[in-house]
Amino acid sequence: MPAPHTSSRRRSAARLARAAAVALLACAAAPAAAGAATTLYPDLRTLPPSDLRFDTVNYNGVTSNVLRFSNTAWNAGQGPLELHGTLGGSSTISQRLFDDAGGGTFVTVANDFVFHPGHNHFHFEDFAEYELWTKADFDAWVASGRSVGGAKKVGDKTTFCIMDTGLVKALPGSPSTAVYSQCGATVQGMSVGWGDTYGWQLPEQWIDLGGSFLADGSYVLRSVADPRNKLYESPNRSDASRESAQANEAITAFTVRRGRIKAGR
């Protein structure tokens, strides 16, 4: 017969083995801890302005010479740009930030959408900025680190109805058809890879030149999406490679010769 302490050791070992087996089964049955969801931010970019032309308009009872052009802002990010608001001027606009788990959060970015009588629909304010420079002034401004100098003229229209008007580039997450297809009074947005184009013929899609057209010379037309950095394109709107005016800009250089616009420097 085995000694008493030998049997005790065997019984203890058996209990330990059973406990280990139970623990192993429990670990196998437990679900893996879910990883934190990743926010899918939009990334606003601008295509070089196109369709430049001179025109004379009578707007609000004033006749002016203007530089018309078409402009496209588009979303090169991983997630859509989606804005929610309520009409009445007493609420705010929230941006919905989507994540890769199918959820999302809302962050406040501005006041309510405003009604634009010329376009007869609702706009988000400060979505774009248009600047007209002489080429010499623009080059000097860039050489100064964008700290010295200023544009010759700035466009009045900075409000936009944000929507999908055309696919600019097929990216992961790009829908095959427009998701945001109307100028909503409470919801507007821009899908991944899609752009919002404002054609040259639309009201206020211009820079007011005043009483005369541009003199012969070389110029730069600069367009910037989200120039006041209201919209979230990165955590805390802090990534300059996505949030800065330089990241969100595009330029078109052109010359004026005998009153005619020619593309290129």
pLDDT at 108 over 70: yes
In whole angstroms, what is the distance from residue 92 CA to residue 88 CA? 10
What is the pLDDT at residue 16? 40
pLDDT at 213 over 90: yes
Please give the residue that has the higher pLDDT: either 68 or 158: 68
Residues 140-146, mean pLDDT to the nearest whole number: 97
What is the pLDDT at residue 263? 81
What is the pLDDT at residue 184? 73
In whole angstroms, what is the distance from residue 100 CA to residue 245 CA? 27
Question: Considering only 72-81, 157-166, 184-193, which range has the smallest mean pLDDT?
Answer: 157-166
Write out pLDDT tens, residues 220-241: 999 999 999 999 999 999 999 9
What is the pLDDT at residue 124? 80
pLDDT bracket for residue 196 (50, 70, 90) = very high
Q: Specify burial of residue 111 (Cβ count, 10 A radius: 0-12, 13-18, 19+).
A: middle
Helix or strand or coil: residue 106? strand
pTM, whole model, 2 decimals? 0.82
DSSP 191-247: -TTEEEEE-TTSTT-EEEEETS-PPSEEEEEEEEESTT--S-SSGGG--HHHHSTTT
What is the helix (H) or strand (E) element at residue 10, kind and residue range? helix 4-29
Enumerate residues 6+ apart whose C-beta is below 8 A from 227. 126, 128, 129, 158, 245, 248
Write out pLDDT tens, residues 75-102: 999 999 999 887 655 578 889 999 999 9
